[in-house]
Chain A
Amino acid sequence: MLGWLQSLGRIGLDFFERLGRGHLFVMRVLAGVPSVLLHPSLIVAQIYSVGVLSLVIIVVSGLNVGMVLGLQMYNTLVDFGAETTLGPVVALSLVRELGPVVAGLLFAGRAGSALTAEIGLMKATEQLSGMEMMAVDPIKRIVAPRFIAGLFSMPLLAAMFSAVGILGGYFVGVGLLGIDDGAFWSQMQAKVDLHEDVLNGVIKSIVFGVVITWIAVFEGYDAVPTTEGVSRATTNTVVYASLAVLGLDFVLTALMFGS
């Protein structure tokens, strides 16, 4: 019993110690952001790596999610003779929820894991240590540009996901199932509010971008510098970031649409 309590206490202490280190780490990263802004080429290179290279999976997934959504919603709406509302149903689902959340989960899997593995391997091969000995701060040179790139890329990828998803819904609803073209777009225009729906979706994607990128760079920087350590850190990134996205989505949804 005592041993069990000790283990529980140890797990709790380790968790809060790591949480504290994570917060101190992000403070150091934020302190390094101004100096990185003076070297935009570092950020552009990382936006390419984190954002542009994630485009394929985002576009393909968005298109499929939109098409499935269009098909499933049509089958339900047609029973009530409300199939002309397919446009707003697809758009609201994507803009409010599926866009930020699914794009966030994909971003964690594609870009988050890559960030962790890259930084973790740089640590394991003493590249970060070597950089420190050359009087170059790896937090400013390596971590901060990746953090900023993640921050910029995630909302853009979520927007891209939603836009392509709506096109997928349009293709199925209008192209295959014969819903009126004008009704699809005009209903969407009438029902989707810029502030209430689009802006809240954008806020969600920004929050997810911050959290996913923070977890990814911290896990990489804090990884045990061995093969197993980097592997564990990469797995942790995907698991923690996915759980954080899903948990935060509920909190944000409750705050934004709860009333």
Chain B
Amino acid sequence: MTGADKNLVEVRNLTFRFGPRIIFDDIDIDIRRGKVTTIMGPSGTGKTTLLRMIGGQLKPKAGEVRVDGLNVPTMTHDQLYFLRMRMGLMFQSGALFTGISVFDNVAFPLREHTRLSESMIRDLVLMKLQAVGLRGARELMPAELSGGMARRVALARAIALDPMMIMYDEPFTGQDPITVGVIMKLIRMINDTLGLTSIIVSHDVQEVSSISDYIYMLSNGQVVGQGAPEQMWRSDSPWVTQFMKAQPDGPVPYHYPATDLAEDLFA
């Protein structure tokens, strides 16, 4: 099996800057087909930026982002939109359309991209909502949903077109333990039962460790660690250790860079 067959996403020599700030400095990442891969790292390390590059919403300064063998940054508008039909993204906010019901939100991609009859769309939407446990909430408006429910609806919408890959942007942030458990179960279950490839962006160490097959850790524009969750826990890299064990000080400093305290106080 070649690399492209084994990996659904291959990031090579990726470099990206926001103004003078380097977000990625020549990094390589492989996302294996059929696996749940997590991108971890402190806030502001470019985890969400990486998802947006895989989805073609941002273009790198240099390097390649290959999805299913296709180099995303060089694709035309039409090619990119065709590829996006085969990938789903669950936003941190859910990004549901606030003016339409839960049912219509999930039906939206089906109505836009297929010529299925309304009765067929109804059946498909109900099946997707059943998978996330919200079939009974189909008439509700997004404003009537809790944060966790909104993410589950967003997940149902993301899998509406049966994509080959699904990306989760901070799926556990700000959720209560029950909702976190539900989302964890859903991510693993949907990945395995639908035969998808999943990419999670998160900094919730315990949660992702229990459902991920492989973890990449980003910091300072570099991949500072990678491996299966158990390897990450045993890692002797100070970056990985600080993050996995939630140590307040280490390679990621506790203090924001500043002049000497005494100098500052007596200035």
A141 contacts across to B, CB distance below 8 A: 112
- B160 (CB) vs chain A CBs: closest residue: A134
Q: Which of B89, B93, B95 has the most CB of A within 10 A?
A: B95
Name the distance in Å between B113's Cβ and chain A's nearest Cβ.
Answer: 7
CB-contact partner of B82 in A126, A134, A135, under 8 A: A135
B97 contacts partner chain A, Cβ-Cβ < 8 Å: yes
The docked-state distance in angstroms from the alpha carbon of A132 to that of B82 is 11
Chain A interface size, under 10 / 10 to 19 / 20 to 34 / 35 or more: 10 to 19
Verify if B195 is at the interface (C-beta below 8 Å from A). no
Majority SS at the chain B contact face: mixed
Q: Do B98 and A132 touch (CB < 8 A)?
A: no
Using an 8 Å CB-CB cutoff, how does the interface string of A115-148 with B read, 1 for contact, 0 for none?
0000000000111011011111100010000000
Bound-complex Cα distance A135 to B113 (A): 9
Complex partner residue of A133 from B55, B82, B97, B113, CB under 8 angstroms: B55
Known pairs A135-B82, A135-B84, A137-B81; A130 contacts B109 (CB<8 A): no
Q: Contact check, A130 vs B89: say whether CB atoms are below 8 A apart.
A: yes
Nearest B residue (CB) for A118 = B99
Q: Is B239 an interface residue (CB 8 A)?
A: no
Which of chain B's residues have a CB closer than 8 A to the CB of A125? 93, 95, 98
A135 cross-chain contacts in B, Cβ below 8 A: 81-82, 84-85, 109, 112-113
Instruction: State the CA gap A130–B98 with chains docked (Å).
Output: 12
Instruction: State the CA gap A97–B113 with chains docked (Å).
Output: 46
CB-CB under 8 A from A134, the residues of chain B are: 84-85, 108-109, 112, 157
Name the residue in A126, A129, A134 with the highest tally of chain B Cβ atoms < 10 Å from its Cβ: A134
Instruction: Answer whether residue B57 sits at the interface, using C-beta atoms and an 8 A cutoff.
Output: yes
Q: Of B85, B95, B112, B113, which contacts A130 at CB under 8 A?
A: B95
A129–B57 CB distance below 8 A: yes
Residues B152-167 near A (CB distance < 8 A): 154, 157
Question: From residue 82 to 141 of chain A, which have CB atoms closer than 8 A to chain B?
Answer: 125-127, 129-130, 132-137, 141
Is there contact, CB below 8 Å, between B113 and A129? no
B91 touches A130 (CB 8 A): yes
B55 partner residues in chain A, CB cutoff 8 A: 133
User: Which of B85, B89, B97, B109 contacts A127, CB < 8 Å?
Assistant: B97
Question: CA A137 – CA B77 in complex, angstroms?
Answer: 10
| Chain A proximity of B160: nearest CB distance (Å) | 9
Complex Cα distance, B91 from A126, in Å, reads: 8
Chain A residues positioned under 8 Å from B93 (CB to CB): 125-126
Closest to B167 in A: A133
- Determine the distance from Cα of A137 to Cα of B157 in the docked complex, in whole angstroms: 17
Looking at A125, A126, A130, which has the most chain B CB atoms within 10 Å of its CB?
A130
User: A residues within 8 A CB of B109?
Assistant: 134-136
Residues of A within 8 A of B87 (CB): 133
Chain B residue numbers with a CB within 8 Å of A136 are 108-109, 112-113
Least CB distance, B85 to chain A, in whole angstroms:
5
Which residues does chain B contribute within 8 Å of A133, judged by CB atoms?
55, 57, 84, 87-89
B contact residues around A130 at 8 Å (CB)? 89, 91, 95-97, 154
Q: A129 contacts which chain B residues (CB < 8 A)? A: 57, 91, 95
User: CA–CA, A133 to B97, complex, Å?
Assistant: 13
CB pairs A–B below 8 angstroms (10 shown) = A125-B95, A126-B91, A127-B97, A129-B91, A130-B95, A130-B97, A130-B154, A132-B84, A135-B85, A135-B109
Give 4 A-B pairs besides A125-B95, A125-B98, A132-B57 with Cβ atoms closer than 8 angstroms: A134-B157, A135-B81, A135-B85, A136-B108
Ranked nearest first, the 5 interchain pairs of A and B with the lowest CB-CB distance are A130-B95, A135-B84, A126-B95, A135-B81, A133-B89
**A residues with CB within 8 A of B:** 125-127, 129-130, 132-137, 141
